[in-house]
Amino acid sequence: MKENRKSKDEYKATAFYLPEGLYQLTEVARLRLGLNRSKFIQFCIMRTLQDLSLLSEKVHEVEGAKTDG
């Protein structure tokens, strides 16, 4: 087992359905980037949050919640 692997508690499994055309598009894109499906979806979510300027706001909210107790 890899020592740097995160525990299952640090990840949440999810499932969703994609139309065939969108699925094929994502497969081509993720293969070009050299990512597995999970990493590609994580990348897309993070990039979208950055593009919408929501990432830094949410990070600060989560950090504040953790320090508030």
pLDDT at 1: 46
Q: How many Å apart are CA 40 and CA 4, to the nearest integer?
A: 20
Residues sharing a CB contact under 8 Å with residue 26, sequence separation 6 or more, in sequence order: 18, 37, 40
Q: How much is the pTM?
A: 0.64
* Model pLDDT for residues 16-51, shown as the tens digit of each residue: 999 999 999 999 999 999 999 999 999 999 999 888
**Rg of the chain (C-alpha set):** 16
- How do residues 9-18 score in pLDDT, each as one tens digit? 788 999 999 9
Q: What pLDDT does residue 10 have?
A: 84
